[in-house]
Structure 1
């Protein structure tokens, strides 16, 4: 089974313009852009045929080529990373069995998260899958703090017993009233795996009302009756956090320092 990784990146983020080119300082004091650190995270994944940065912005493309990445240019019409992936797969000379969408704002994504996702796609009945991580106390506290202070942070997932997704939200679901005795909360990890046909179907569907309200691209699958398979993964001591807001820079740099990531 062949797999490629796409890393969608756009400059005009509504919450954090220019985010892919923000510098993050590693454990040795070296500064690297967010998009480079996300690409390096993808490089650590085994069993992948190729890795491409997808963008419509010349500044991001130039930076990506500067650190050695292959780049596919996509249109500015793409409203999210999944639409960008649908455009990019049509540019490949040979269509892979699986396309992995590793978000360009997730440099802390451990390689085993992506490898577990690819392994789940060995089942040809799975058309689209995404990892979920049981929230630890620190991550859950960050979630609750962000919402109380009016920031949109990470995403939570609610799923059935068979692992199929019921809903994804930027709210903390289920409701957490007491951090000392919280319910089970699952952090949605910003990685997706698709079959090429699933991407083509997605590109043909209009943006739905709950996708638009939450700003979460994966909800379009649910709104159109497609199954999203959640794949539980283990943190193994690694703190996972995406760069959604400027406050997240310090959070991510703290993890880079703790983990000794240069």
Structure 2
């Protein structure tokens, strides 16, 4: 199965303008841009045919080419990362069985997470799109709840059926947490990573945004609103955290663990 990784990145983020070029300092004191750290995470994935950064911004392009990335310039009118991936595939003439979207604000994405997604895609050929989920630990759940209490749009949660088919994704903490939290915690964090069949990605752009996607601001809901099958792939955290850079406060969270060795345990 030929797999290509795309890292979509835009400068004009409404919540965090210029986010891809924000500098992140790891625990070893090395400072690099967010987009470089995310690209490096993508480059560490085994068995991938190619990795590209997809952007419409010349500043991001210049920085990315400076650290050695292959860049595809896309339309400035792509409304989200999935649309940018679809546009990049057409513009670059990419041929792939699976297109993986590693979002440009996810520098903590470990290679084994992407590899698990690719493996699941090879085994489940009926899914239109696949995306990983991780059961929340206490610290991550506390961050999610704190973001909601303080009015910040933070991480995303996922709910799915017994066959791991997605039912819904939300910026709210779902399912509802009231009183004492159960063990194991019943909340699954959606990791900012998607694997699309090439035909499904091409179809995405033909669908208009639906009311759920518009309200939540979550592009993956367009697949669900149009009757497409989204497979959630549960993965073990392996002692890792998966915070994305959604708000300036996330800088501290990410830098506090950036460069921490991943525990080598089996899932």
TM tier relative to shorter chain = over 0.9
Residue 257 of structure 1 and its aligned partner are, at CA, apart by 5.0
Could you tell me which residue of structure 2 aligns to residue 6 of structure 1?
Answer: 6
Alpha-carbon RMSD: 1.3
Is the 1:141–1:179 Cα contact (8 Å) retained in structure 2?
no
Q: Distance in 2 between matches of 1:202 and 1:164?
A: 18
TM-score, normalised relative to structure 2? 0.94
Could you tell me which residue of structure 2 aligns to residue 212 of structure 1?
Answer: 214
Could you tell me which residue of structure 2 aligns to residue 149 of structure 1?
Answer: 150
1:25 aligns with 2:13: no
Paired residue total: 260
Could you tell me which residue of structure 2 aligns to residue 171 of structure 1?
Answer: 172
Of residues 189, 192, 198 in structure 1, which corresponds to 2:191? Answer: 189
Q: Distance in 2 between matches of 1:11 and 1:28?
A: 27
Q: Distance in 1 between matches of 2:169 and 2:187?
A: 11
Is the 2:72–2:92 Cα contact (8 Å) retained in structure 1?
no
Could you tell me which residue of structure 1 aligns to residue 265 of structure 2?
Answer: none
Structure 2 runs not aligned, ≥5 long: 263-267
1:82 aligns with 2:82: yes
Could you tell me which residue of structure 1 aligns to residue 61 of structure 2?
Answer: 61
Could you tell me which residue of structure 2 aligns to residue 117 of structure 1?
Answer: 117
- Deviations 1:222-255 (CA, angstroms, capped at 9, x unpaired): 0000011000011111111111000000000001
Q: Distance in 1 between matches of 2:94 and 2:26?
A: 36
1:95 aligns with 2:95: yes
Residue 258 of structure 1 and its aligned partner are, at CA, apart by 3.8
Residue 124 of structure 1 and its aligned partner are, at CA, apart by 2.4
- Deviations 1:200-228 (CA, angstroms, capped at 9, x unpaired): 11010001111010000000000000011
